[in-house]
Structure 1
Amino acid sequence: MGKGFFISKAVGIAAIIVGAGALATIIALSVVYSQEKAKNNDNVLPTDGGTTSKPPVTTTAPSNEPWDKYRLPKSLVPDHYNVTLWPRLKQNLTTGLFIFTGQSTVEFVCAEETDLILIHSNKLNYTKRENNHLASLTSLGGVKAPSIKSSWLQQVTQYLVLQLDGKLMKDHRYHLHTDFTGELADDLGGFYRSEYMEDGVKKVVATTQMQPTDARKAFPCFDEPAMKAIFHITLIHDLGTVALSNGEEKESSNVNIEGHDVQKTVFQPTEKMSTYLLAFIVSDFSFINNTIDGVLIRIFARTPAIAAGQGDYALNKTGPILKFFEKYYNSSYPLPKSDQIALPDFNAGAMENWGLITYRETALLYDETFSSNSNKQRIATIIAHELAHMWFGNLVTLRWWNDLWLNEGFASYVEYLGAHEAEPEWNVKDLIVLSDVHRVFAVDALASSHPLSSKEEDIQKPAQISELFDAISYSKVTSLTQNNKLISLFSLQTYLAEFAFGNAGYTDLWSHLQMAVDATGTDIPETVSNIMNTWVLQMGFPVVTVNTSTGIISQKHFLLDPDSEVTTPSIYNYEWIVPIKWMKTETIQHPKWLKNESVSGSDWVLANINVVGYYRVNYDQGNWERLLGVLSTNHVAIPVINRAQLVDDAFNLARAKIISTVLALRTTKYLNKEREYMPWESAVGNLDFFYLMFDRSEVYGPMQDYLRNQVTPLFTHYKSLTDNWKNVPVGHMDQYNQVNAISLACRTGLRECQNLTNQWFNQWMETKLNPIHPNLRSTVYCNAIAAGGAKEWEFAWSQFKNASIAIEADKLRYALACTKQPWLLNRYLEYTLDPNMIRKQDATSTIVYIANNVIGQSLAWDFVRARWSYIFTQYGGGSFSFSNLVNGVTERFSTEYELQQLKQFKEDNAEVGFGSGTLAVDQSIERTIANIKWIAENKQNVLDWFKAEEKP
């Protein structure tokens, strides 16, 4: 830890007063800012000739100048920052804006002689300092600092640029001072505001979301993950509000600044850390707390939520999960506190800021009256995910964003271990297959997928970085890691110990894995790097074919559309070193590595037991027939996870033309005897594709008849198990499968189910007392609103607007998209553009919900096309949710006309851009082409099969 740089109390207050004195100028500038913002999609802070310097307007292609490159030069290395920020939680009556003012001093070391300072800055407006420049520079150690020759803001690459009249000296230290202002906007990035109503009063929270590249919107900084530093944070805030940051509160005092009585809170310096993990929040929230082995744990939320006990579950589970990870990593939690806060407006699910984790309310707050078991599981797993990051990501951090998977992939895996520690009876680890393996298979089977690790030079722009926050980075490592004997616990511990408070790359992890393999004598066919690089440095995964008639086991690159062209080269020629574990007629065999292994025999063979390997499995026709026979006569002989696997593999192999679609459909015939959640969930997920392809065609009716017959026994089973729906199933998975039973039964038109959901909903409307169990509310609300009209929709909308529990509001928001009335859906789409109707954090997912409705599909697509520029500008092109939006509104596309529309959409909006949805546009085009071909080749066969199954 480097030495700290402190401003004395007297000097600090004086500087704040100077900043306050400039407030009138800042507010005047804000008027111009507001006008410019409406005209300029870049939203760059405007300037005038009085107190700020006007940035040059870059209209030509980037040159070779350092400030036209997106990566920082290596010449300067930050040591620590002193940052003071003052967010204004009241709207300026003249400008209509919320703003914050701040000042920053960063101490850096010159690693290479240079006459140029580049530091990240985005949407900040600077008060001129010495010699009319945007910053001032001083030297430490008696060496005179060169003067600033010119200074400006480079908008495209997001820099504050300072050209010097001399060179900074190697190994010498300097201070860079700035005073600045920014808008405390509602854009959910950087230092932003969140609003909510409490007792009829609108309240404002000033909060942050820095990952991946938005710390530069809060203060000028070297905003790259390898540029770790120590941060001294001070917040000026209104009396009666609470200030939080990564560090513990050091001192707090009331001060008067230019006639304003405010509070000044100084925080202890942070550990050495990356800018994207910073957080500072001002609110009037309440909290509950506990202390475990000297670590203070606090849960913050809106006061009514805390008073209602909605933070209790998180508080009770955080301690055990934290202690589990300390033992798992063999490393003590490195901070004195762990604050977790639920925010009304938050774009992601949660963010692992070191010592101050931020969440959506639905990801942290639990209320027994309103929260389902899936809500509870989400809270447990997200808390575990974020706490896992305290070591894997925060203590040891990626060097650059091309290795994002190092952070997110392992956190996504161990979240299941942490959640299992919190709720051992759930068997939540089994759900890795459904939640992660099947999820990432869908993306990684496309020719437009990408490797886990990209080249550094290919990931430069903020939008390219945001694009990496996808299923590949989060779920592929989880799929590779589960039960993989290469991932030694010891190796993770030594890796974390060596690189603590620093940065590392994936090759460093491979070295520690190899040391563990060597130390334990583990038998593997190649070095760790040779094995793992086949999975990390090339996209995709194999389909392993087990031919029991010839004894040959082979592999090839699995592509959902086998005719698609793979343009991404691979030094491994799309071959993988594959671990195989199989069973032969109920006897589990020893694991093998796929290197000239063989298997044969007349008994049935099942590979990839419990789906511990990241690959799909195909068999010769004879073995498929034997497996289908086992499913129909004694399905429990096959492990439950593999029953889910057989269904998922079969349907996806059929889409890839490896087996027939009829063979895939035959894997569902046994489901009328299946009572377990995982196989049913796998089937429902795959049959969703059939709904997307056929719910506008003549296949729909026969398909509905077949599936209704298949699900009716499951519906009847849960009716009996719950004593005619009076009780809740005991098991966690049973509670999930009860939802499947009702959802699919109502969806396929089972009259008893539809009457049941309508009866419950009507009872709620008439008595204003909700009789529906939280587990069932999403599906009951959806089906009742779909069956009803304006009356039901208006009632649900009223309940949504008045919901004080975010989890209940989310259930209603989803269900409102289920109506079959086009005019209501169109009105709902318009609401997504009004933050007073639908919060910005929920806008894109609401549009996707509407697109999932066959009636709303074309409405949502027309809406997105017509409003793309506005949506993209207002809801953040860098937002992680834009890939979900693009995929969601195009998921049903399966005609040549829709393909041409999609291509035209890409062309028409090339200048506006797609941000983090750029890759999703190409994936949607690829998926649409595959859908067109699949329907042409399969529609008649599918129709004939469903009809044949209905014959007596």
Structure 2
Amino acid sequence: MGKGFFISKVVAVVCVVVAISAVATIIALSVVYAQEKSKNQETPATATTGTTAGPGTQTTTPSTPKEPWQHYRLPDSLSPISYNVTLWPRLTPNPDGLYIFSGYSTVLFTCVNETDLILIHSNKLNFTMFDGYHAQLKAVDGASAPQLKKSWLEVPTQYLVIQLSSPMQAGSTYELFTEFVGELADDLGGFYRSEYYEDGVRKILATTQMQPTDARKAFPCFDEPAMKAVFHMTLIHPHGTVALSNSMNYEPINITTPDGLNLIQTSFGPTEIMSTYLLAFVVCDFGFIQSDLGAEVLIRIWARRKAIDEGQGAYALEKTGPILSFFEKYYKIPYPLKKSDQIALPDFSAGAMENWGLITYRETALLYNPAVSSNGDKEWVATVISHELAHMWFGNLVTTRWWNDLWLNEGFATYVSYLGANYTEPDWNMSDLIVLNEIIGVMAVDALASSHPLSSKEADVMRPEDINALFDSITYSKGAAVLRMLSSFITEEVFSNGLSMYLEEFKYKNTVYQDLWKNLQTAVDNAGIQLPHSVEVIMNRWILQMGFPVVTIDTSTGKISQKHFLLNPDSVVDVPSEFNYEWFVPITWIKTGAAKDQYWLLTKEATNPDMTIGASEWLIANIDMKGFYRVNYDSENWDRILTKLSTQHQAIPVINRAQIIDDAFNLARAKIVSTTLALSTTRFLNAELEYMPWQTATRNLDYFVLMFDRSEVYGPMQGYINKKVTPLFKHFKDLTANWTKIPEKHTDQYNQVNALSWGCSTGVEGCKELTTAWFKEWMDNPDNNKISPNLRTTVYCSAIAEGGVVEWDFAWGMYRNATIASEAEKLLYALSCTKQPWLLNRYLEYCLVPEMIRKQDATFTINYIAGNPIGQPLAWDFIRANWDHIFNNYGGGSMSFGRLINGVTKRFSSEFEYKQLLQFKEDNINQLGSAASSLEQALERTKANMDWLALNKKLVFDWFTNEISGTV
């Protein structure tokens, strides 16, 4: 196997002649691109580059498409076999100040059905013309190719359209050749550039992000997941850089351009047959470390040279091999490739991307420095690596046919990422932490009437912005939750066996979700497991209708019922369901400490005598929250649960202690139980030392903070939380020898942060003095930060909140100089904690300047500021005033864009704010992109907040007041 990456001094004469010819062509194209870029900035969006106006010059596709090129889906007339692509990215600007790439591509395809039309995706590419046409066509099987009749670029649907003078013949094979130039922009999509500084030197690299629909920005291609093909990539790049792609490289050669430029040409072996969105290539001057997985797989971690030299890639390298080995056993199929390159990029829009053989990451998701990174940073690296490696089989080897089943890829990878991380870090208890990290959070989203089913119809997901909108928490986290539930009721072993059969049957092919159900059913049958219905019948109720049920259990009669759970019970659900919002619910329960067999609730109502209890007993359903539903009880059982929590909380499993809190608070918001009952589930916290119940309480009390931090309720609420957290604060002070040691247990390290965070925000004695002293010590000696990495986010935030411009400017300077991404991220958040409005406004303005705050971080930073009660109205005013700029420059179709609306509006709870949201929707109705669904959720959430406040403000004030005065 290959050992590293070497640049040869040997000149391969034949290859050089071909390369020089190609270079000459693409140099000429760069001039064309500069001219066209300038022209396009001056002409309407309807302009068609490089040809006379054709049928494709309209600016918008008609609502009822008439022509094939007006449809967003490719016809089934052509099927790609392979691509041969050569690209030359320029890492320095041209005389017009533009960064460009140029290249050429040959796609070999079969004509499946006779047609006189070629549609191939192309977006923002400028083509050289051949006798007035954008491409050249030839037949490769002895037949003659039709003559080209007309060609144009169809901008709305992102096609290069080629009309032929006569049809291509079914069964014949053809080649389409194109030459083109594109901009190597900093937009984080397609083939783009990333910039960073190392030792004061500005450096440029070229990299990719193709998912879901941006391969077409790099070269013309059939850019749909079912259009799998083999890719032969060649990259031309400067000396001092390396080129990476999905496959191993052949030995690079030196070439010289006609104008005397000395360059390197690196070609790569053919890929496995795969989808366009999994293609990746990078040109950079990074360093790497490597290891071998047995004798078969080369593993390399790539990053900035300084990061590699500092050992920041060592943890990723240490864990990649074991996780790959785990998945080989789990899937019962060997890793399909000869290498696994993983690269940390300074600019990257997502967390990571599962490109086959070359996985790209944000630096925070791959790099780890034990001296600076927290245990949370370490967990993030382990879970993201596990998530991406899970895709190497599930998603890459076997790929869903269309994006409407994105949940299957991402939900599955999210679920099994916890299994992989749990395998490689068995002391972390990752298989439990999925409840906190994924399930509890997404239940709040799925309880909205504006939620959506996991699986949609293909016809409902057509445009790129529709596809981008699916990259949300429903797809990832709910997908993980329902698959975890399925694995639980058929057993993990049977689940794994079914997956193995599925992957073996469909490797290198495409599927729909029913194919997975079929194979899991075979595994269930083979194991002799009895289910009330087939896997498909049970699971369709969870994926084809949005939401989930609340199961109500009357422990005096054994009566059980289910109902669609809505956070706002007055919401109107205008999405019909063929299942009438009923589910087949697997119920597990504990009866006074003893676990019982699973019971299936198959109708709206049923009776199970086993769920009745005596006067001194208690019952808790949904053990370890394996089922995706909430549970309500009769008032007597609630009272017994509260009594047990107050007297012997350890008798209830830790996940269920968290579940009781989360269910009660959400049931109260839905007006099913009283708010005082929900608040009563927190009374036992003064005796609780475990992380999961505390973290769940924190999230639910955070809602109260959001609703009341601008009202008179805030004071007594803070007083109550202070009483509950003080014992926890003292516990960790003792456990850590006055904050000088790190707790051994992974979750204790997290809960120490809760103790410090709540302690400082509610005024626990000595907390603020502690954090400000630590921060001042760092300010006095910037080169020696002694603050524990686990505590830095909290300490920085607390000290900046207590301080002024001096503390803020110091933190800003440390952020600007940070060479470790996880440290920069902590500072980026902490800077939003200041109480000075002018500093927050200045910080918001920085979000529009990529040299100050990277584009990948801008939306997160605005959300951080909106999380500050002082910053929230500033952030809302800011995005309204700058929406055009933010939308056009920060990706209206990006995966993170919808989070901006959610983050900035989560505190909204008044009629005035609701009307502002409606006005914002009206003002920007055609410029929302992937944020459209988030805006609907924000409107619904605001309405629910208004209703909740009207009902609960006085009640909550009285409850907290009585609790701190000791009258209850």
Using structure 1 for the length normalisation, give the TM-score: 0.97
Write the distance in 2 (CA, Å) between the matches of 1:39 and 1:868: 23
- 1:256-271 equivalent positions in 2, closer than 5 A: 256-258=256-258, 259-271=260-272
Q: Is the 8 A contact 2:78 2:111 kept in 1?
A: yes
User: Which of 530, 537, 546 is equivalent to 2:537?
Assistant: 530
Q: Paired residue for 2:800? A: 785
1:169 aligns with 2:161: no
Q: Is the 8 A contact 1:107 1:176 kept in 2?
A: yes
User: Which of 288, 296, 299 is equivalent to 1:297?
Assistant: 299
Q: Paired residue for 2:9? A: none
Write the distance in 2 (CA, Å) between the matches of 1:29 and 1:434: 50
User: Which of 585, 589, 593 is equivalent to 1:582?
Assistant: 589
**Amino acid in the other structure paired with 1:605:** L
SS at match of 1:251: coil
Q: Is the 8 A contact 1:75 1:111 kept in 2?
A: yes
Write the distance in 2 (CA, Å) between the matches of 1:234 and 1:107: 16
Q: Paired residue for 1:619? A: 633
User: Which of 920, 933, 950 is equivalent to 1:905?
Assistant: 920
**Amino acid in the other structure paired with 1:949:** E
SS at match of 2:427: helix
Q: Deviations over 1:692-712 (max 9, x none)?
A: 111111111110111011101
Number of residue pairs matched by the alignment = 939
Shift of 1:34: 4.8
Q: Is the 8 A contact 2:452 2:546 kept in 1?
A: yes
User: Which of 9, 33, 36 is equivalent to 2:37?
Assistant: 33
Shift of 1:894: 0.3
1:520 aligns with 2:527: yes
User: Which of 428, 431, 435 is equivalent to 1:429?
Assistant: 431
Write the distance in 1 (CA, Å) between the matches of 2:818 and 2:593: 51
Q: Is the 8 A contact 2:49 2:153 kept in 1?
A: no
**Amino acid in the other structure paired with 2:243:** A
Q: Is the 8 A contact 1:53 1:133 kept in 2?
A: no
Q: Paired residue for 1:4? A: none
Write the distance in 2 (CA, Å) between the matches of 1:810 and 1:16: 44
Shift of 1:346: 0.3
User: Which of 793, 811, 819 is equivalent to 2:826?
Assistant: 811
User: Which of 311, 314, 317 is equivalent to 1:312?
Assistant: 314
Q: Deviations over 1:167-203 (max 9, x none)?
A: 0100100000000000000000000000000121111
User: Which of 541, 548, 553 is equivalent to 2:555?
Assistant: 548
Q: Paired residue for 2:249? A: 249
Q: Paired residue for 1:215? A: 215
SS at match of 1:265: strand
**Amino acid in the other structure paired with 2:174:** Y
- 1:910-921 equivalent positions in 2, closer than 5 A: 910-911=925-926, 913-921=927-935
Write the distance in 2 (CA, Å) between the matches of 1:481 and 1:276: 24
Q: Paired residue for 2:758? A: 744
Structure 2, unaligned runs of 5 or more: 1-11
Q: Which moved more, 1:467-476 or 1:28-37?
A: 28-37
Structure 1, unaligned runs of 5 or more: 1-7
1:565 aligns with 2:565: no
User: Which of 697, 700, 704 is equivalent to 1:686?
Assistant: 700
Write the distance in 2 (CA, Å) between the matches of 1:673 and 1:421: 32
Q: Paired residue for 1:237? A: 237
Q: Paired residue for 1:382? A: 384
SS at match of 1:132: coil
- 1:763-774 equivalent positions in 2, closer than 5 A: 763-768=777-782, 769-774=784-789
Q: Deviations over 1:112-149 (max 9, x none)?
A: 111100000000000002x2100010001111111111
User: Which of 644, 651, 674 is equivalent to 1:660?
Assistant: 674
Distance 1:127 1:680, change over 3 A: same
**Amino acid in the other structure paired with 1:563:** D
Shift of 1:587: 0.7
SS at match of 2:251: strand
Q: Is the 8 A contact 1:778 1:815 kept in 2?
A: yes
Q: Is the 8 A contact 1:299 1:341 kept in 2?
A: yes
Q: Is the 8 A contact 1:29 1:47 kept in 2?
A: no
**Amino acid in the other structure paired with 1:278:** L
Q: Is the 8 A contact 1:195 1:203 kept in 2?
A: yes
SS at match of 2:488: coil
Q: Paired residue for 2:396? A: 394
Q: Deviations over 1:815-836 (max 9, x none)?
A: 0000000000000000000000
Q: Paired residue for 2:143? A: 143
Shift of 1:61: 2.6
Shift of 1:251: 2.7
SS at match of 2:766: helix
Q: Deviations over 1:358-405 (max 9, x none)?
A: 000000000011100000000000000000000000000010000001
Q: Is the 8 A contact 1:45 1:125 kept in 2?
A: no
**Amino acid in the other structure paired with 2:515:** D
Distance 1:49 1:446, change over 3 A: closer
Write the distance in 1 (CA, Å) between the matches of 2:346 and 2:699: 31
SS at match of 1:480: helix
**Amino acid in the other structure paired with 1:648:** D
Q: Paired residue for 2:882? A: 867
**Amino acid in the other structure paired with 1:716:** K
- 1:48-447 equivalent positions in 2, closer than 5 A: 56-59=57-60, 61=62, 63-92=65-94, 94-129=95-130, 131-258=131-258, 259-293=260-294, 294-447=296-449
Distance 1:22 1:230, change over 3 A: closer
1:490 aligns with 2:494: no
Write the distance in 2 (CA, Å) between the matches of 1:269 and 1:153: 29
**Amino acid in the other structure paired with 1:578:** V
Write the distance in 2 (CA, Å) between the matches of 1:45 and 1:337: 44
Structure 1 stretches of 4+ moved >3 Å: 8-16, 34-40, 44-50, 52-55
Distance 1:11 1:426, change over 3 A: closer
Distance 1:948 1:13, change over 3 A: farther
Write the distance in 2 (CA, Å) between the matches of 1:885 and 1:265: 40
Q: Paired residue for 1:833? A: 848
1:23 aligns with 2:27: yes
Write the distance in 2 (CA, Å) between the matches of 1:645 and 1:34: 59
Give the aligned CA root-mean-square deviation in angstroms: 1.6
Shift of 1:56: 2.1
Q: Paired residue for 1:854? A: 869
Shift of 1:485: 2.7
User: Which of 489, 506, 510 is equivalent to 2:513?
Assistant: 506
**Amino acid in the other structure paired with 1:337:** K
Q: Paired residue for 1:3? A: none
Q: Is the 8 A contact 1:33 1:45 kept in 2?
A: no
Identity, % of aligned positions: 60
Using structure 2 for the length normalisation, give the TM-score: 0.95
Write the distance in 2 (CA, Å) between the matches of 1:880 and 1:191: 17
Write the distance in 2 (CA, Å) between the matches of 1:91 and 1:560: 53
Distance 1:37 1:194, change over 3 A: farther
Write the distance in 2 (CA, Å) between the matches of 1:45 and 1:367: 50
- 1:620-635 equivalent positions in 2, closer than 5 A: 620-635=634-649
Shift of 1:54: 11
Shift of 1:264: 0.6
Shift of 1:484: 2.0
Write the distance in 1 (CA, Å) between the matches of 2:170 and 2:32: 41
Q: Is the 8 A contact 1:246 1:278 kept in 2?
A: yes
Write the distance in 1 (CA, Å) between the matches of 2:123 and 2:147: 24
Q: Is the 8 A contact 1:241 1:283 kept in 2?
A: yes
Write the distance in 2 (CA, Å) between the matches of 1:636 and 1:57: 67
Shift of 1:476: 1.2
Q: Which moved more, 1:473-482 or 1:304-313?
A: 473-482
Q: Deviations over 1:708-740 (max 9, x none)?
A: 111011001000000100101010000000001
Q: Is the 8 A contact 1:147 1:164 kept in 2?
A: yes
Q: Which moved more, 1:249-258 or 1:318-327?
A: 249-258
Distance 1:938 1:479, change over 3 A: same
**Amino acid in the other structure paired with 2:380:** R
Shift of 1:883: 1.1
**Amino acid in the other structure paired with 1:539:** M
User: Which of 943, 953, 959 is equivalent to 1:939?
Assistant: 953
Shift of 1:597: 4.3
